[in-house]
Amino acid sequence: MTIENFFIAKFGTKLVLKESSQNSVKFIHASDIHLGAAQYRNEYRSDDFIQAFQEILELAITHHVDFIILGGDVFTSLEILPGKLTKIVNMLRDFKDFTQNSILIIAIEGNHDIRKFSRGVRFERRGQSWLKLLNSLGLIILLDADLEAPSKDVFKPYNFATKKGGKIQIKNVVVYGSRYLGEKPISFLSKMRKAIVKENGFYNILLQHFGIEGQMENVPGINLEKIQHLKHRVDYLALGHFHKQFIIEDWIYNPGSSEAACSIDNSFKRGVFLVEISKKVEKFVKQVKVIRLINRKYIWETLHLKFEIRNNKDIEIIIIEKLKSFLRYLDNDIHPTNPQVPILYLLLKGIKPSCKINEKDLRKKICDTFPIIDVRVYQKFRKSLKTLDNFILA
Ligand SMILES: [Mn+2]
């Protein structure tokens, strides 16, 4: 049996390599794909993250880009189920074959790629990541700087034999990158600035995994003033980390997460950047287009419990009945692989039930009853009056 290349099946024919101009470079900047997210909870939902990655690869093909850069958190943790990893490896292999290796995927490790992030245990970095595996298989280019080395050796050109290096040149663009540098990368960044070569006729991209202070509420980031010095040597600072998209001063770019890794991500502007750098006389001209990815549909419903409910069965019945009227417009005939089948975020408000809600059972009931892919339940009940009375009397 021959297994057909996914991209050939999708696009009909093999990619015809175009004679591309040396004076124009096109790339896609994406980040925070979080492969492996939701994998224990829901098969379809976890495939959404792989689907978003696939969409990025398809965009790279349809827009004839020269390369893709990924700003870290490509994987959501060190844990990934074998079936999911197999799917990702096969997809990248098909992409490499289809494009005849003409579109390189350049990545760095984000904080999620390099540490165990679940099950309550957080071990120290041991230098492992799934990106290192993909790099060793020749499916991606993983960049990392040697920050202990003298300036000239911090960013060694990527060597395809040893599969190591901190920079790579494609046409007249040079991409520099390093893994996630922790929460205080300032001293590393000044070291990097010294190591970045600013040469006439070359356009420098620095690929990093950190956020900028003030771009997301209550999330720490780096002070913008403290990285101004990079501007002299970096033409395009390509970031990942914050899941909310931002562009600063026309040189700092953060695309945001590809899929919503948590419910709040849905409220952010997110997507990928399609960038074209053209050389006009002695100057580079940059054009940036924001592309939104398809992503899974989601709906929020708020349900007020108006009286105190004492047993779980009643809670389930009441919630299901209310949802039947709220969700009656949903189409029962779409397959869950279709991103139009929504994920439901259910906010429970009103009077707190006197029994503990069995969320697992409730979620299963809701998923079995409605054409949704998954449900998340948020319990935001008012404090019961009784408790409040007791509190006041005490
Ligand atoms: Mn992330």
Query: Which architecture characterizes domain 21-291 according to CATH?
Result: 4-Layer Sandwich (3.60)
* C-alpha of residue 52 to centroid of ligand 1, in Å: 14
Distance 289 CA to ligand 1 centre (A): 22
Average pLDDT over residues 140-168: 97
Residue 131 Cα to ligand 1 midpoint, Å, equals 15
How far is the centre of ligand 1, averaged over its atoms, from the C-alpha of 34 (Å)? 7
d(CA 129, ligand 1 centre) in Å = 15
State the distance from the centre of ligand 1 to the C-alpha of 110, rounded, in angstroms.
7
Of 136, 179, 180, nearest in space to 159 by CA: 136
Give the integer Cα–Cα distance in Å for 370 and 344.
10
What integer is the mean pLDDT of 246-250?
A: 97
CA distance linking residue 256 with residue 333, whole number of Å: 32
Mean pLDDT, residues 243-264 taken together: 96
Distance 383 CA to ligand 1 centre (A): 34
**Per-residue model confidence as pLDDT tens digits over 319-346:** 999 999 999 999 999 999 999 999 999 9
Calculate how far, in angstroms, residue 265's C-alpha sits from the geometric centre of ligand 1: 10
- Say how many Å lie between the CA of residue 5 and the centre of ligand 1: 30
Between vectors from CA 367 to CA 366 and to CA 373, what angle results, nearest 5°?
Answer: 135
CA of 180 to the centre of ligand 1 (A): 11
Calpha distance 213→124 (Å, rounded): 26
State both tokens at 388: 């409040």
Q: Which amino acid is at 387?
A: T
Mean pLDDT, range 125-152, rounded to an integer: 93
- Ligand 1 centroid – CA 340 distance (Å): 24
Question: What is the maximum span of the chain, computed from C-alpha positions, in angstroms?
Answer: 82
- Cα(378) to centroid(ligand 1), Å: 22
CA of 38 from ligand 1 middle (Å) equals: 14
Tell me what the mean pLDDT of segment 216-238 comes to: 95
Write down the pLDDT at residue 393: 47
Q: What is the pLDDT of residues 187-210, one digit of tens each?
A: 999 999 999 999 999 999 999 999
What are 304's two structure tokens?
Answer: 């007020």
Is residue 267 left, alpha or beta, with left meaning phi > 0 and alpha meaning psi from -120 to 50? alpha
Residue 2 pLDDT > 80, yes or no? no
Distance 31 CA to ligand 1 centre (A): 8
pLDDT in tens, 11-55: 987 777 777 777 899 999 999 999 999 888 888 999 999 999 999
Give me the pLDDT at residue 394, please: 40
Measure 221 CA to ligand 1 centroid, in angstroms.
13
* Residue pair 272/58 in contact by the 8 Å Cβ criterion: no
Dist CA 301 CA 382 (whole Å): 17
Q: What is the pLDDT of residue 14?
A: 76
Q: How far is the CA of 161 from the centre of ligand 1 (A)?
A: 30
Asked if the model's pLDDT at residue 60 lies above 50, the reply is yes
3-state helix, strand, coil in the chain (%, to 5): 30, 25, 45
Distance 26 CA to ligand 1 centre (A): 24
When pLDDT is averaged across residues 271-292 and rounded to a whole number, the result is 95
Banded pLDDT at 286 (limits 50, 70, 90): very high
pLDDT of residue 122: 59
- In the reported structure, the alpha carbon of residue 33 is separated from the centroid of ligand 1 by a whole-number distance in angstroms of 7
Mean pLDDT for the stretch of residues 213-226: 94
d(CA 253, ligand 1 centre) in Å: 15
CA of 71 to the centre of ligand 1 (A): 9
11-15 long-range contacts, CB within 8 A, separation 24+: 11/61, 11/98, 14/98, 14/100, 15/61, 15/98, 15/99, 15/100, 15/102
Residues whose CB is under 5 A from ligand 1 (ion)? 32, 73
Better-predicted residue by pLDDT, 329 or 393: 329
The strand pairing partners of 350, in sequence order, are 305
359 Cα to the center of ligand 1, angstroms: 27
* Residue 309 CA, ligand 1 centroid: distance in Å: 39
Going from the Cα of 366 to the center of ligand 1, the distance in angstroms, rounded, reads: 29
